[in-house]
Amino acid sequence: GDSVTQTEGQVTVSESKSLIINCTYSATSIAYPNLFWYVRYPGEGLQLLLKVITAGQKGSSRGFEATYNKETTSFHLQKASVQESDSAVYYCALGPNNNNAPRFGAGTKLTVKP
Amino acid sequence: DAGVTQTPRHEVAEKGQTIILKCEPVSGHNDLFWYRQTKIQGLELLSYFRSKSLMEDGGAFKDRFKAEMLNSSFSTLKIQPTEPKDSAVYLCASSLDSSNTEVFFGKGTRLTVV
């Protein structure tokens, strides 16, 4: 079945430094799945950060970017300069696609130090 | 517009009890999802409905977990009997359809089984 892997459970970065959160996927139900990043800020519900539905394209939101790389089956999340307000849990997701529900990674907790 | 509404927000149950969690999706959404959220596993799919029809049933959760859609605007998740390992946050989510649209999440129900 489809799956998503996030290798880092926790990441700590100093404010104004760059960030990369890794995400790789495996899709057996569809050749080119839709890819998403969701975020959960402290005290809030899970919400969409950005999405890309076309291989090779880049999505961006709130200073974050992610590029859909079908060769490496990756969708890493990057930001050039993080802020304390970016501290949250980030989830990479595959789908929904066709008749399949979205699949999520285990999540990466980002802590930005002042 | 109201988002996804989940009740109760917190539930404490004794081992062996039956509990029912409730969810109202975004009005007009056709797809509804139940997920279990833990720090280790991330978001695990429990059930997926489209227009009240069951599309996917999380294989590992079939024996004690049962989700139903009583109508297009109300869903329940029953856990019977509860076990301490069921302690987690249960998320309900909905989307317009299964194309490239985002999924909207409720704030979740935190279940503690003692």
Q: Does B106 touch chain A (CB under 8 A)?
A: yes
User: What pLDDT digit, counting tens, does each position of B20-39 carry?
Assistant: 999 999 999 999 999 999 98
Is the per-residue pLDDT at B99 higher than 80?
Answer: no
pLDDT above 90 (res B63): no
CA distance A93 to chain B (A): 10
Tell me the per-residue pLDDT of A24-48, one tens digit each, with 9 for 90 and over: 999 987 888 899 999 999 989 999 9
Q: What is the pLDDT of residue B1?
A: 59
User: In this predicted structure, what is the pLDDT of residue A30?
Assistant: 80
Tens digits of per-residue pLDDT, A51-86?
999 999 999 999 999 999 999 999 999 999 999 999
Q: Does A91 touch chain B (CB under 8 A)?
A: yes
Measured distance CA(A44)–CA(A23) in Å, rounded: 23
Dihedral-angle region of residue A16 (phi above 0 means left; psi in -120 to 50 means alpha; beta otherwise): left
Taking only residues 30 to 89 of chain A, the set having a beta carbon closer than 8 angstroms to any beta carbon of chain B reads 34, 36, 38, 44-48, 51, 53
pLDDT at residue A107 greater than cutoff 80: yes
Chain B residues lying within 8 Å of A3, measured CB to CB: none
- In this structure, how many other beta carbons lie within 10 angstroms of the beta carbon of residue B75? 24
Chain A CB contacts of B32 below 8 Å: none
| pLDDT recorded at residue B16 | 96
Q: B41-61 pLDDT, tens per residue? A: 889 999 999 998 999 888 777
Q: Do B42 and A91 touch (CB under 8 A)?
A: yes
Any A CB within 8 A of B36 CB: no
Per-residue pLDDT band at A12 (split at 50, 70, 90): very high
Cα angle A101, B112, B34; round to 5: 10
What is the structure's pLDDT at A96? Answer: 82
Whether chain A has a CB inside 8 Å of the CB on B89: the answer is no
Query: pLDDT averaged over chain B?
Result: 92
Percent of chain B with pLDDT strictly greater than 90 = 77
- Partner-chain contact B56 A100, CB within 8 Å: yes
Give B-chain residues touching A9 at CB under 8 angstroms.
39
Position B98 pLDDT exceeds 70: no
Task: Check pLDDT > 80 for residue B62.
Answer: no
pLDDT of residue B102: 87
Measured distance CA(A94)–CA(A84) in Å, rounded? 27
Q: Do B108 and A45 touch (CB under 8 A)?
A: yes
